[in-house]
Amino acid sequence: MSGSGDVQRRRPKAASAPWNDLVVVCAKCAKRQGIGKVRKDLKRALKRTRPDRKVRVVETGCLGLCPKRSLTFATAASLRAGRLVVLDPATEAEAMAQVLVPDPAS
């Protein structure tokens, strides 16, 4: 019979991620701005503009910033810096892609 002590002794496992970059989109901001497909448009733009990178785009609940008339995003780089990225919802998906996952050569 295994008790709760067995769970504490097990070591966590790690696995390679099937993507290189992560972009988190606040679904609440997108809904409030009337942009229901921001995730899909951003993912398409990233595939076109950054074919060398596998980017995972994930919608999440509120990120806690709640800017008026804007969208809130988080990336691995922005979170390392302790920041969130706020963009105008009228910004083209390709421009959002460049801001969120910039080309390291530029």
Domain edges within the chain: 19-100
Per-residue model confidence (pLDDT) at position 10 = 87
Nearest to 42 by CA among 34, 50, 33: 50
Per-residue model confidence (pLDDT) at position 61 = 95
Low-confidence ranges of the chain (pLDDT < 50): 1
Per-residue model confidence (pLDDT) at position 2 = 52
Per-residue model confidence (pLDDT) at position 103 = 86
Look up residue 65 and give its two tokens: 């910033």
Per-residue pLDDT of 43-69, as tens digits, reads 999 999 999 999 999 999 999 999 999
Per-residue model confidence (pLDDT) at position 82 = 97
Per-residue model confidence (pLDDT) at position 35 = 82
**CATH 3.30.1680, domain 19-100, yes or no:** no
